[in-house]
Chains A and B, each alone.
Chain A
């Protein structure tokens, strides 16, 4: 079915005009109601002196009195329409997602402990070939490293394909404050257990 042309709004605005689209501190959804928008940006364009008479400076600086014309280029800011889209162009259906961490690493493979969410018990252990992850990620697959394993359907045009992806997380080390808070939470949890 052909998309209906929208007459709701004119999708063209100055890039620094926040009145219409960016109302207050709204963080909803995507940036624009149409997801595609043309914004007018002031783009600097070099304009040579021959085209801009006011930018030409003429001086008489040589001992011989020969006239020297200094040619100076001037930055002119010209409005230019720029298409900006907040519409992502992939399609993917998530079937399963596991989070976990690496428990050991060998020469060609590594083992990870994985769970679907915090209520998932018992957790599963799985062994992966290092070849399953990209060359740059292999150095991250060390004991204790956090990872996410997703299984889903990706699309190439009308072709659906099953995908399995392992992503080694790029997390900054825990801060002292976070460690203290985690210890406190664990302690409260332990004390809260009613042993029969």
Chain B
């Protein structure tokens, strides 16, 4: 299966808090590709659906933490691109 993946450091000062998470859901909904955020920490791997505000909040990605973005679908390239750009702040 084809997919894109990239890592990004969260640049929002409060981390992925309610406002940033809401914006992220809005942004992700513009793409057709399925988009997953994941924490690269091997001892505690967590995945979040980028269109689910609850799962993003539960990812608990604070300021400066490293998060992976994975997308698969027709517009996966643009999706990963713009989401990483948003997360970097």
- A and B held together in a complex: no
